[in-house]
Amino acid sequence: MRTTVSLDDALLEQAKRRATRSGVTLSRVLEDALRRDLAAPPPSSRPVELSTVSGGRLRPGVDPLSNRDLFESMDLEDARR
């Protein structure tokens, strides 16, 4: 099957050199690389570990569902330091 794809110039040059060294066509090099990539399992995404801080409570009047309130509270805390 024929198709057109856009490749980075340096990557294309590497693929052409590989084809020449291996004695195969550029199409073969690209097909083999694509097959290897598609056969590999997708990278797994690990759960993100969040650090927590114990103690303390929200200041009175700070709505924990309001980003504005939370950021203003953090800014006040930073200003006190």
Residues 69 and 63 sit within 8 Å (Cβ to Cβ): yes
pLDDT digits (tens, 9 = 90+) for 25-73: 999 999 999 999 999 988 887 888 877 777 677 778 888 898 988 888 8
Specify the pLDDT at position 76.
Answer: 77
Residue 55: per-residue pLDDT = 66
What is the rounded distance in angstroms from the CA atom of residue 15 to the CA atom of residue 54? 55
CA-to-CA distance for 4 and 12, rounded, in angstroms? 13
**The pTM of the whole model exceeds 0.85:** no
